Structure 1
Amino acid sequence: MERLRLLLSELGTAGWTGALHVGGTPGGVLHLVGGRIAYAETSSCPGLGERLVASGRLSRAAWSSAVAEGRAGCRVGRVLMREGLIGQNELASRVSVTVADAAGELLRSGGAPLRLVPGERHWLGAIGPQRRRCESRRP
């Protein structure tokens, strides 16, 4: 856990962009843009799409259509907003909750293997300035 925290702090300070893959169980990925966490995912937490559909905010068909159109260009978020399916502030808030849940799980991964992939982007794409810089909050 401490190793991952330290690495995230270093990546934040360096303004790094790419993906930090966390192995082990449950494993997952933290996507950083300019040293800030833009998205995080793990199989132990529902992702953004699962949350939007389960809450009734979006239909499964609307979510699937946005992903089909925007995934390859890393712009699913823009497609959702362009189609009027969700506003930027609501999307940013829902992404923040999704990221917090997934990052919390990943930070408990202990000595899991870590792999950096520079430049790897998440399919959601940039949705606004809600991203948080990776910093250690410990004294």
Structure 2
Amino acid sequence: MKNFIKTMTTLVETLQALDQVINHEQTILCSGRVNGAALQHITEQKSSLLATVDYLDKQRRQHDERLKQSAPYSRQPEIAAMWKQVVQMTTNLSQINRHNGLLLGKQIDYNTEALAILNASQSQKFYGANGLETVTGQSVRKISV
């Protein structure tokens, strides 16, 4: 039983850490300028924490089988309180993560539009492949006398 309580406690703590990471991700996505490196770091943290949550949930299920119990653990008030916290946090995290996905989609759309504008302006070449200036598609060599 002590191992089960430890697993549940660790699960709650991991979800709290994930909450901080997802809220930080939202702050980055809502800022005027998204820092790609910071967003990549957040993504790595999020992936790591989600893997930990998955592992802890598998442990919880193994404990359930071994102890012949199941959620919401109404016979054990301490565990029932932790389970209620887990359910509330996962619901909240799911909503925030969905919102972050929408923000990320908007950011991708914005970047795609910006790249299209930049690529259109780059269609007019000022220098040829040889590094010389071009005028209406012809290379021009300047000769000094």
Q: TM-score normalised to the size of structure 2? A: 0.29
**Which has the greater radius of gyration?**
2
Indicate the structure with greater helix content.
Answer: 2
Indicate the structure with greater strand content.
Answer: 1
RCO higher in 1 or 2 (8 Å CA, sep ≥ 6)?
1
